[in-house]
A and B are shown apart, each in its own frame.
Chain A
Amino acid sequence: MSSRLEADHLYKVFGRRSKAAVERLRQGADREELRADGTTAAVIDASFTVEPGQIFVVMGLSGSGKSTLLRMLNGLLEPTAGQVRFDGQDLTALSARELREVRSRKISMVFQHFALFPHRSVLENAAYGLEVQGVPAAERRERAATALELAGLAGWEKSWPDELSGGMQQRVGLARALATDADLLLMDESFSALDPLIRRDMQDQLIELQKKLKKTIVFITHDLNEAMRLGDRIAVMRDGRIVQTGTAEDILVRPADDYVASFTQDVDRSRVLTAGAVMDTDLRGDEADCSCETAGPDTSFVDLCAISARLSHPVAVVDKNHTLVGVVPRQRLVGFLGDEQGTPERCPSPRGEEVTAGA
């Protein structure tokens, strides 16, 4: 779990004279200017670090360059400029053969459309990476079967890919990626082609797996909800540039610009926000002194609402040491949900009930 992935000022420009184009981009040229010359800047000056065991989500609309970025991370595409460092190795400096070696042992990939080999059985598909590594057949079968089991496909080894549903196929894809024991997992919109229910299952499964396996994962998605759900850290891309990198809450609560903000409008905030983000830290000190239910900083917004509904006063937030760190009045919950955090105005002709009155 020592892997650490670092992208350092990555550029990818398609078309002629790409190096010159990078130079112009560095000097502040616009993507549109380049397009007029027939070159396409897919990724512009992308830098980020992925810590071991993290799920790093790259989020962006189609055409934002996220898939290109991902393919530079394992060398499927060669960066026009910049470096990718993984495990202390500069991937951009490797020969094609060394790069293949790295890909076969340390980095594996899960694809949007599964990319299962139709002429191989489920087990053979899962064992593919091991076959490339040259693992003996018996061991290969064993490890592939284990990976399939992890992915929840035990018993399907002898089936063929086209006999499986989309979700199951992607589990095969996942098993294939897991079987090689690669530290870094690149997932390219891996769940986008699945229907919403299956997608959620798969997300849950990935989260479960990640708890066990603690891989370093770079996950590409165009779905901010998915990004928020999976991502320890999220990079938002727009027109080839990373416009913001941060936690889900950072993105949601402190969007870097209007673009990110507009993006977050549709997000189901209740799924992302936690007590830590919502709580008011302006404390009197005795809010937790009663024996009422309290919340932790990680308590989800939904749970917080539930607690708040059971209490007649604001919910106290305490950390692991039972020290009071914040308090969440009901007004604040409603405000965060509606992205409206000012103090409520007085009603000019009150009709008896305060809004804060408990239900």
Chain B
Amino acid sequence: MPRIPFGDWVNSAVDWLLNHMAWLFDFLKTVFSGTYDGIDAVLQAPQPLLLAGIFAVVAFWLRGTSAGVLTFAGFAFIDSLELWEDAMVTLSLVLVATLIALVVSVPVGIWAARSDRVSGVVRPVLDFMQTLPAMIYLIPAILFFGTGAPAGIVATLIFALAPGVRMTELGIRQVDKDLVEAADAFGTTPRDTLLRIQLPLALPTVMAGVNQVIMLGLSMAAIAGMVGTGGLGGDVNEAIGQLNVGLGSEAGVAIVILAIYLDRMTGALGTQVSPLGRRAAAKARAAQGLRIWSYRPRPVVAMAGVVVLALVAGGMGVFGGAGATSTASDGENVGQGKKVTIGYIPWDEGVASTFLWQEILERRGFQVETKQFDAGPLYTSLAQGDIDFETDSWLPTTHAQYWKKYGKQLDDLGSWYGPTSLELSVPAYMKGIDSLDDLKGQAGKFGGKITGIESSAGMMGLLKTKVLKEYGLDQEYEVVDSSTPAMLAELKRAYAEKAPIVATLWSPHWAYSEYKLKKLKDPKGAWGKGDGVHTLSRKGFAQDNPVVGKWLKNFRMTEKQLTGLEAEINKVGKGKQQDAVRAWLKTNPGVVDKLAPVEGSASATPAEAKRPLDVAWFPWDEDVAVTYLWKNVLARRGYTLNLKQMDVGPVYTGLASGDLDLNFDAWLPYAQSNYWEQHKNDLKDLGTWYKPTSLEIAVPSYVKDVKSLSDLKGKSKTFGGRIIGIEPGTGEMNLLKNKVLPGYGLDKEYKVVDGSTPAMLAELKRAYAKKEPVAVVLWSPHWAYSEYKLTKLTDDRKLFGEGNTIRTISSEKFPDQYPKLTEWIRKFRMSESELGGLESEIKRRGQGHEEDAVAGWLKEHPDMVQRMTPQ
């Protein structure tokens, strides 16, 4: 049987759609998100109880007193669960999806009812839409529509469209043929037959379809939570991720309340609007006589009433909720005659840069002392504060061990040179845009967007917090977090259309040979170097010496400059380095002013803070902690963070497509390597904030004699020959199957059970409760270690590799958009005790009180804010 490359066809179809139909998806996205935003704004604006009251009034009108009371109770319950906002998000999503589903499905249903041929075509399409697993179109939906509401709406729509079409068709076909013939016999036009006879009579069935659309939409909303639509679906996802049955059931019950409410209301509405139903209601009313208590408005009146109530409520919320953002600015003072000590390792670039700075700082009136060290002592001295800064730290790789040891006592002032380059690139057909400066004022051309990669990528952080800011682009441009493939897809699409695009890229990259691209020059050297040469300072140096700190942070040298200076120094020989520097500076005028500008550079509150950041997070403890920590800290700096709880895959896709800005919980280079590899071209790694982490197999400590992976040998009976795994295809699982188990000769004995993280944790919980032996795939840090007594099996042969580090990744554009923030994030570190403390504080306060927990924790760690976001 020949292999039919169906998957390839689909891939090329997706490519083709991306290339040629982008306008359509953009249009749809605009429609979807516009409708969604509108409805969501109306639903979110009023006080929860007020809106609950409105819902209750609707229920009272449609169904009666008890329905009204129960509705109010139900929605008040949701409010008391602190799920109100999420519930309204879900409600908006479902309403929009329903609305659009009806706009599409009713006409299609009518068409299908009138033509057997159409019906024959439509039916299998509906089957397809209804049964295709949601995940399959959820991910492409991100490609086409980005993360968030539109993708969720599309997924919901695809799923919920079918009953709308089917029921409409059925309803119309069910209308008595005699009646249609009678209408025909009296000369009714087909259109009038439809409007006067068929549709009114089909209405109850159509309404049953509407009801189904809503119900399916709600059930889909939970799944859509995985693409960051948030709402109750997000809560459910979070609960699943954390094995938190409590939160899960809260969100679940909230969904059920919404579902029952919508079901009963549409059911009642169906009866009310159908002519037969209205007749029955009218008769009942006539029998009772008109009383206010039993007054039921006609649907038109009811609709108008609801709209008026909603507008009133919305207006109250909108006008009551005006807020203000404060901006602050820090001044700048030039310190004179201050003593600065620079340490250096006698390597060419270290010498060159150190003496360059000695010369520069002296010219700026500082007293400079230089001290030569070996690498180890240099770090020790720096950590002890004996020297102020040094310029020759090879990070993150070469000096990793030093950084690990002293990093907490040091400040990284950024890389000033690196062999690799990061950049923003535009297609060659973008005339007149050759450097980042040229982007200024051109935001309109690019739609104000810079197509980024994974927000976790260091590059993205750099772009957003530093690069953009330095070029004053942070207000103009929005860095779209996405994934490397998504960025490349976007680039491909734009390139095919010859549309303007600016994307984050780095060299070397194949994109440069594939397309004619221009690397935007980065005259200000805003881009950090991935594994570059860093300037490190003692803790607090930059605060003590803001100007120098700023100069050092802005310190960049080109390859030409550096090699030129090195050559000059080598020429004159040891002891005369400063002379060489002076000579070099003569041939390179302006360098001093450039590296150490005396005037200007009034740094204010980041303008980049204006745009809210979309931060995706996983429902994992460390991510909850760090995300809420950043939210709190950045709020003090005027940033707004929209937190979106999502699944790993969607986060990477979302970051790569630029829909998300940041994720603080990228486990790289191993655990999430499959996602990273896929999207890395569109993501920026903003560096590690936590390490070390480890991947391992863990067994409960009551399982004696199993301390290392080698101990597993011959014990397969104890564990039933199974190792409980997590999601297949994750980096850790691949590593385990392909390397670790064969490495220890366990692959014949043990079978790795593919599953999911929640399932693994559930299995662990179950086995632990029964004291059964169990071996699970786990990693550190993980709350399971504090929850249960577990033994991490030692990996003597180091087959799991070096530990991951937890990194912040961002969309590719992020560093451009948020240069300041990128800088902060790049320098952000947390120690095990800090993270552990924060996590336990959050756990102690419970779900829903993360912000309080962070605030409380920050009170105990007053230096944290300044450390994270130095000003």
Q: Which of A119, A128, A132 has the most CB of B within 10 A?
A: A119
* Binary contact track A106-126/B, C-beta < 8 Å → 1, others 0: 011101010101111000000
Taking the nearest CB of chain B, how far is it from the CB of A134, in angstroms?
11
Report the bound CA distance from A161 to B200 in whole Å: 16
- Say yes or no: is B279 at the interface (Cβ < 8 Å to chain A): yes
- Does the CB pair B185–A118 fall under 8 Å? no
- Does the CB pair A132–B185 fall under 8 Å? no
Question: What residues of B have a CB within 8 angstroms of the CB of A99 in the complex?
Answer: 187
- Say yes or no: is B186 at the interface (Cβ < 8 Å to chain A): yes
Question: What residues of A have a CB within 8 angstroms of the CB of B276 in the complex?
Answer: 118-119
- Say yes or no: is B182 at the interface (Cβ < 8 Å to chain A): yes
Question: What residues of A have a CB within 8 angstroms of the CB of B185 in the complex?
Answer: 74, 76, 103, 107-109, 111, 186
- Say yes or no: is A206 at the interface (Cβ < 8 Å to chain B): no
With contacts A100-B189, A104-B187 taken as known, whether A115 is within 8 angstroms of B182 at the C-beta atoms is yes
Report the bound CA distance from A319 to B189 in whole Å: 53
- Say yes or no: is B677 at the interface (Cβ < 8 Å to chain A): no
- Say yes or no: is B188 at the interface (Cβ < 8 Å to chain A): yes
Question: What residues of B have a CB within 8 angstroms of the CB of A100 in the complex?
Answer: 187-189
Within 8 A of A (CB), among B171-229: 176, 178-179, 181-189, 192, 197, 200-201
- Does the CB pair A129–B201 fall under 8 Å? no
- Does the CB pair A119–B275 fall under 8 Å? yes
Interface SS of chain A: mixed
- Does the CB pair A103–B187 fall under 8 Å? yes
Q: Give the bracket for the number of chain B residues in contact with chain A.
A: 20 to 34
Report the bound CA distance from A111 to B185 in whole Å: 10
- Say yes or no: is A263 at the interface (Cβ < 8 Å to chain B): no
Within 8 A of B (CB), among A246-263: none
- Does the CB pair A111–B187 fall under 8 Å? no
- Does the CB pair A101–B187 fall under 8 Å? yes
Within 8 A of B (CB), among A315-338: none
Taking the nearest CB of chain B, how far is it from the CB of A172, in angstroms?
12
Q: Which of A111, A117, A176 has the most CB of B within 10 A?
A: A117
- Does the CB pair B179–A117 fall under 8 Å? yes
- Does the CB pair A111–B201 fall under 8 Å? no
Q: Which of B179, B189, B274 has the most CB of A within 10 A?
A: B179
- Does the CB pair B188–A132 fall under 8 Å? yes
Report the bound CA distance from A102 to B187 in whole Å: 7
Within 8 A of B (CB), among A49-103: 74, 76, 99-103
Question: What residues of A have a CB within 8 angstroms of the CB of B189 in the complex?
Answer: 100
Question: What residues of A have a CB within 8 angstroms of the CB of B192 in the complex?
Answer: 132
- Does the CB pair A119–B201 fall under 8 Å? yes
- Say yes or no: is A170 at the interface (Cβ < 8 Å to chain B): no
With contacts A76-B181, A160-B279 taken as known, whether A115 is within 8 angstroms of B176 at the C-beta atoms is yes
* Binary contact track B248-291/A, C-beta < 8 Å → 1, others 0: 00000000000000000000000000111001000000000000
- Say yes or no: is A180 at the interface (Cβ < 8 Å to chain B): yes
Taking the nearest CB of chain A, how far is it from the CB of B648, in angstroms?
54
Question: What residues of B have a CB within 8 angstroms of the CB of A74 in the complex?
Answer: 185
Q: Which of A100, A111, A129 has the most CB of B within 10 A?
A: A100
- Does the CB pair A118–B186 fall under 8 Å? no
Q: What's the tally of chain A residues with a CB closer than 8 Å to chain B?
A: 27
Please, which residue of chain B has its CB at the minimum distance from the CB of A101? B187
Question: What residues of B have a CB within 8 angstroms of the CB of A101 in the complex?
Answer: 187
Report the bound CA distance from A118 to B274 in whole Å: 11
Report the bound CA distance from A102 to B186 in whole Å: 9
Question: What residues of B have a CB within 8 angstroms of the CB of A119 in the complex?
Answer: 200-201, 274-276, 279
Taking the nearest CB of chain B, how far is it from the CB of A42, in angstroms?
16
Please, which residue of chain B has its CB at the minimum distance from the CB of A130? B186
- Does the CB pair B181–A108 fall under 8 Å? no
Which of A104, A113, A120, A160 meets B186, CB within 8 Å? A104
- Does the CB pair B178–A113 fall under 8 Å? yes
Question: What residues of B have a CB within 8 angstroms of the CB of A111 in the complex?
Answer: 178, 181-182, 185
Question: What residues of B have a CB within 8 angstroms of the CB of A109 in the complex?
Answer: 182, 185-186
- Does the CB pair B186–A129 fall under 8 Å? yes
With contacts A109-B182, A111-B182, A160-B279 taken as known, whether A118 is within 8 angstroms of B188 at the C-beta atoms is no
Question: What residues of A have a CB within 8 angstroms of the CB of B274 in the complex?
Answer: 119
Taking the nearest CB of chain B, how far is it from the CB of A340, in angstroms?
45
Taking the nearest CB of chain A, how far is it from the CB of B703, in angstroms?
72
Taking the nearest CB of chain B, how far is it from the CB of A123, in angstroms?
13
Report the bound CA distance from A103 to B188 in whole Å: 9
Within 8 A of B (CB), among A122-144: 128-129, 132-133
- Does the CB pair B279–A180 fall under 8 Å? no
Report the bound CA distance from A140 to B186 in whole Å: 15
Report the bound CA distance from A160 to B188 in whole Å: 22
Question: What residues of B have a CB within 8 angstroms of the CB of A180 in the complex?
Answer: 186
Please, which residue of chain B has its CB at the minimum distance from the CB of A120? B275
Please, which residue of chain A has its CB at the minimum distance from the CB of B276? A119
- Does the CB pair B197–A117 fall under 8 Å? yes
Within 8 A of B (CB), among A144-173: 160
Report the bound CA distance from A103 to B187 in whole Å: 5
Report the bound CA distance from A186 to B187 in whole Å: 14
Report the bound CA distance from A113 to B197 in whole Å: 17
Taking the nearest CB of chain B, how far is it from the CB of A115, in angstroms?
4
Report the bound CA distance from A109 to B181 in whole Å: 10
Question: What residues of B have a CB within 8 angstroms of the CB of A128 in the complex?
Answer: 183, 186
Taking the nearest CB of chain B, how far is it from the CB of A261, in angstroms?
35
Taking the nearest CB of chain A, how far is it from the CB of B270, in angstroms?
14
Report the bound CA distance from A109 to B184 in whole Å: 10
Report the bound CA distance from A111 to B176 in whole Å: 13
Please, which residue of chain A has its CB at the minimum distance from the CB of B187? A104
Question: What residues of B have a CB within 8 angstroms of the CB of A176 in the complex?
Answer: 186
Report the bound CA distance from A132 to B191 in whole Å: 12
- Does the CB pair A108–B179 fall under 8 Å? no
Report the bound CA distance from A226 to B318 in whole Å: 75
- Does the CB pair B179–A76 fall under 8 Å? no
Question: What residues of A have a CB within 8 angstroms of the CB of B279 in the complex?
Answer: 119, 160
Please, which residue of chain A has its CB at the minimum distance from the CB of B283? A160
Taking the nearest CB of chain A, how far is it from the CB of B838, in angstroms?
65
Report the bound CA distance from A128 to B185 in whole Å: 11
Within 8 A of B (CB), among A163-219: 176, 180, 186
Please, which residue of chain A has its CB at the minimum distance from the CB of B193? A132
Question: What residues of B have a CB within 8 angstroms of the CB of A103 in the complex?
Answer: 184-187
Question: What residues of B have a CB within 8 angstroms of the CB of A113 in the complex?
Answer: 178
Report the bound CA distance from A107 to B178 in whole Å: 17
Within 8 A of A (CB), among B621-657: none
Question: What residues of A have a CB within 8 angstroms of the CB of B178 in the complex?
Answer: 111, 113, 115
Question: What residues of A have a CB within 8 angstroms of the CB of B184 in the complex?
Answer: 76, 103
Please, which residue of chain B has its CB at the minimum distance from the CB of A106? B187
Report the bound CA distance from A124 to B529 in whole Å: 81
Taking the nearest CB of chain B, how far is it from the CB of A28, in angstroms?
34
Question: What residues of A have a CB within 8 angstroms of the CB of B179 in the complex?
Answer: 115, 117
Taking the nearest CB of chain A, how far is it from the CB of B190, in angstroms?
9
Taking the nearest CB of chain B, how far is it from the CB of A302, in angstroms?
38
Taking the nearest CB of chain A, how far is it from the CB of B859, in angstroms?
68
Taking the nearest CB of chain B, how far is it from the CB of A192, in angstroms?
14
Question: What residues of B have a CB within 8 angstroms of the CB of A132 in the complex?
Answer: 186-188, 192
Question: What residues of B have a CB within 8 angstroms of the CB of A108 in the complex?
Answer: 185-186
Please, which residue of chain A has its CB at the minimum distance from the CB of B279? A160
Which of B181, B187, B188, B200 meets A115, CB within 8 Å? B181
Q: Which of A102, A118, A133, A180 has the most CB of B within 10 A?
A: A118
Taking the nearest CB of chain A, how far is it from the CB of B376, in angstroms?
91
27 A-B residue contacts at CB 8 Å? A76-B184, A99-B187, A100-B187, A100-B188, A100-B189, A101-B187, A102-B187, A103-B187, A104-B186, A104-B187, A107-B185, A108-B185, A111-B178, A111-B182, A115-B178, A117-B179, A117-B201, A118-B201, A118-B276, A119-B200, A119-B276, A128-B183, A128-B186, A129-B187, A133-B187, A176-B186, A186-B185
Given pairs A76-B185, A115-B178, A118-B275, 12 additional interface contacts (CB within 8 A):
A99-B187, A103-B187, A104-B186, A104-B188, A113-B178, A115-B179, A119-B200, A119-B275, A128-B183, A132-B192, A133-B187, A180-B186
Which A-B residue pairs are the 10 nearest by beta carbons?
A: A104-B187, A119-B275, A115-B182, A103-B187, A100-B187, A115-B178, A109-B185, A129-B186, A119-B200, A132-B186
